[in-house]
Amino acid sequence: MTKVTTAYYPDGYMDRVGSRGRIVSWAPQQKVLAHPSVACFMSHCGWNSTLEGVTNGVPFLCWPYFSDQFHNATYVCDIWRTGLGLEKDEEGIITRGEIKSKVERLLGDETYKVKALDIKEKMPLIGLTLCEREFVLAGGYNASFESINVNTHKAGHVYVTKR
């Protein structure tokens, strides 16, 4: 950590968090999400992050801030049903208890992971013509998303891992 990075945190914060987590200024998001110990992805639900989470079969904890993020979170939570949204309290705050409750719910119900993996499997078929889909489903080639190169230098993401 550099002094610039730690200057944004209260005195003693890094010492308190040090044994339970790690704060970094940048991480290779695709590689992190692909790691088997990532249990869910807390995201603002920007489009690139949504695609990265979906293509890695990771359930979401959605915390959108503005613009298309709310639309993307709706897809994740209400249409694909691969994640949960965070709800603000009467003062407009997302509390520690709300986050804890949703993480426990997300990790305690395997259907979120099952649905996330199901959508991951279907992703190579999206955008293909009917003929191309049939070709892929028949084993014509192994579709891969390794060629997707997106900007992973984003703030506001938390990767939750199982112990």
Domain range holding 49? 22-161
- Least confident range from 10-14, 40-44, 58-62, 103-107: namely 10-14
Residue 13 domain flag: no
Residue 83 domain flag: yes
CATH number at residue 38: 3.40.50.2000
Residue 150 clears pLDDT 50, i.e. is over it = no
Residue 15 domain flag: no
Residue 12 domain flag: no
Structure confidence at residue 137 (pLDDT):
55
- Give me the half-sphere count of Cα atoms (radius 13 Å) on the Cβ side of residue 77: 20
Residue 120 domain flag: yes
Residue 14 domain flag: no
152-161 confidence digits (pLDDT tens): 334 445 555 4
